[in-house]
């Protein structure tokens, strides 16, 4: 197979930053022909010692306009892919599928006033990309990012979030964002304590956001732990909020590629 018809490109690892023993970020070069919408994911491939290639899906953290690609990964103990990925160093090669995938994009919603971005762990990645794209700030009056982790040290990209207000193209809209961190296994100053589903049920999440979750005004994106997605969808269904489909626009969009 010649390079001209390969389904992937070879990109160079530019930076690797460990966050905790089990979490790290990585940045690669970006092929000029790779296009994606904020919220989509790429298929990444790593070559094993035996010459075989393992592929996994990773949402872009970077914006569609960045000249690099950035990803946020957890190390799965004994995991075939992340064990290889976590050993890569700057200058190593990472394979990237030529096509981007996924439907966790703003065009899933035809209307709505408040956008809720509910994430657990590395599931925050697509929302960071969305928040760096001007479209979301024009489309919604309020944007509520909820980021749930087990321990406070796992709260990644705090500098990126804090710096959004300083970006020229967002300075007039930064007031729209409400960031809510929630930590499940310990108390942490400034963060809620508990799972997203518990905080929806007891009303704490809406109280912290200063706005209600309603079918009329709220549009909700979910990314992260599959159990969180399933349980949250059930809670939202009780509020008459349903998955948004091309044939039937709704209030909820999900990404679940575990």
**Beta carbons of 156 and 72 less than 8 angstroms apart:** yes
Which contiguous run of DSSP H or E holds residue 94? Answer: strand 93-97
Q: How confident is the model at residue 153 (pLDDT cuts 50, 70, 90)?
A: very high
Q: Is the pLDDT of residue 195 over 50?
A: yes
Structure tokens at 72: 């946020």
Q: What is the pTM of this model?
A: 0.95
- Of residues 85 and 40, the one with the higher pLDDT is 40
Whole-number Cα distances in Å, 2 to 8, 9, 97, 249: 11, 12, 15, 42
Q: Is the pLDDT of residue 48 over 90?
A: no
List of residues 6+ apart from 9 with CB closer than 8 A: 31, 33, 34, 95, 96, 98
Structure tokens at 48: 């094993």
* Residue listed under structure tokens 């950035």: 70
- Of residues 257 and 119, the one with the higher pLDDT is 119
Q: How confident is the model at residue 3 (pLDDT cuts 50, 70, 90)?
A: very low
What the chain holds in terms of domains, given with CATH numbers, is 3-97 (2.40.30.10), 106-255 (3.40.50.80)
Give the pLDDT confidence score for residue 258 in this predicted structure.
53
CA 208 to chain centre: 21
Main-chain dihedrals φ then ψ at residue 235, nearest 5 degrees? -65, -40
Give the pLDDT confidence score for residue 80 in this predicted structure.
86
Q: Is the pLDDT of residue 123 over 70?
A: yes
Q: How confident is the model at residue 72 (pLDDT cuts 50, 70, 90)?
A: very high
Q: Is the pLDDT of residue 100 over 80?
A: yes
Structure tokens at 179: 């960031």
- Of residues 84 and 181, the one with the higher pLDDT is 181
Q: Is the pLDDT of residue 168 over 60?
A: yes
Distance CA(38)–CA(152), nearest Å, equals: 26
DSSP letter string, 193-218: ES-HHHHHHTSHHHHHHTS---TTTE
Neighbour-count burial of 206, counting CB atoms closer than 10 A to its CB (0-12 exposed, 13-18 middle, 19+ buried):
middle
Give the pLDDT confidence score for residue 51 in this predicted structure.
85
* Residue listed under structure tokens 């590629």: 257
Mean pLDDT of all residues in 234-252: 95
Give the pLDDT confidence score for residue 5 in this predicted structure.
61
List of residues 6+ apart from 165 with CB closer than 8 A: 171, 174
Alpha-carbon torsion 86, 59, 98, 135, what sign?
negative
Q: Is the pLDDT of residue 1 over 50?
A: no
Q: How confident is the model at residue 257 (pLDDT cuts 50, 70, 90)?
A: low
């Amino acid at each position: 197979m010649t390079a001209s018809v390969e389904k992937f490109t070879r990109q160079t690892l530019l930076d690797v930053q460990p966050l905790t023993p089990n979490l790290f970020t990585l940045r690669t070069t970006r092929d000029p022909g790779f296009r994606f919408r904020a919220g989509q994911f790429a298929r990444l491939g790593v070559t094993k010692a035996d010459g075989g290639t393992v592929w996994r899906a990773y949402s872009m953290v970077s914006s569609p306009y960045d000249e690099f690609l950035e990803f946020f990964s957890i190390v799965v103990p004994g995991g075939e892919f992340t064990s290889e990925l976590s050993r890569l160093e700057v200058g190593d090669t990472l394979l990237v599928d030529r096509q981007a995938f996924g439907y966790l994009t703003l065009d899933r919603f035809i209307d709505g006033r408040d956008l809720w971005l509910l994430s657990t762990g590395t599931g925050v990645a697509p929302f960071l990309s969305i928040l760096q794209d001007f479209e979301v700030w024009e489309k919604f009056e309020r944007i509520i990012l909820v980021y749930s982790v087990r321990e406070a040290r796992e709260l990644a990209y705090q500098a990126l979030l804090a710096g959004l207000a300083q970006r020229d193209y967002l300075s007039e809209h930064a007031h729209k964002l409400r960031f809510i961190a929630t930590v499940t296994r310990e108390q942490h100053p400034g963060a809620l304590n508990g799972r997203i589903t518990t905080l929806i049920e007891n009303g704490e999440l809406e109280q912290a956001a200063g706005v209600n979750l309603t079918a009329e005004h709220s549009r909700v994106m979910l990314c992260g732990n599959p159990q969180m997605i399933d349980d949250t969808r059930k809670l939202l269904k009780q509020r008459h909020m349903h998955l948004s489909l091309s044939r039937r626009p709704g209030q909820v969009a999900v990404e679940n590629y575990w």
